Amino acid sequence: MQDFTAHQFDPMRDEAFKLYHVYDNLSQTPYIPGQGIQAGDKNIYLLRYWHRITVHSIAQHLDWYQKTPTSFISLYGDPDSALRAVSQRMEKRNIKLDGRWQNRGPVFIAVISARKLADAGVFVFSTEDLKSEKMLDLQGMSINHPLAGKLNEREWFAMDRIPEAAVEYVLEEDALTWGGMGNLM
């Protein structure tokens, strides 16, 4: 079986490439100072990544209504997509979880260096990587699979963890509201 490989960042072209992680107080994957970001499923498996990157596991991760932790941390590949995600969370401040209404609290964006992720050996892939023929073949699905329609073209995934050293800074929603995208560059 062929491996589904992590995204190959070009050191010359991608040195300044940033990824954006949106989270709030109810998120399974918040940034924790001194630790970084840990996937909701804290069991680090001995299985190779392609055994965990399945249609079922990604569909489960993308379903916000299920609360089973996954090995994935969602990221955005551009500030516009991240800001849209922040706006959506701010508009739906109160959400129903486990049968009761809960407040998200403030919304944050962690700005992450893609180069530092690669240097730390974090397995990172994009939806474009996921839609590649190689990955589709491994999963036995086609581009017409229902999951393909749920994938945001600007979405990325990190497996298991993002080390503290890869997080360049974190902005709270107030800074985003007043400063807009300029704060994310």
How would you write the pLDDT of the chain (185 residues) with one tens digit per residue? 445 666 666 655 666 789 999 999 988 899 999 999 998 776 665 556 656 777 677 777 677 667 778 888 999 998 998 998 898 888 888 888 778 898 888 999 999 998 898 889 888 888 777 766 555 554 555 555 555 556 666 888 898 899 999 999 999 887 765 455 555 55
> What is the model's pTM?
0.81
The three-class DSSP label of residue 63 is coil
Question: Can you give the three-state secondary structure of 93-104, one letter per residue?
Answer: CEEEECCEEEEC
* Nearest C-alpha neighbor of 130 from the set 163, 152, 162: 152
Kindly state the helix (H) or strand (E) to which residue 50 belongs, with its residue range. Answer: helix 49-52
Residue 100, number of CB atoms within 10 A of its CB: 6
**CB within 8 A of 10, min separation 6: which ones?**
none
Helices (H), 140-172: none
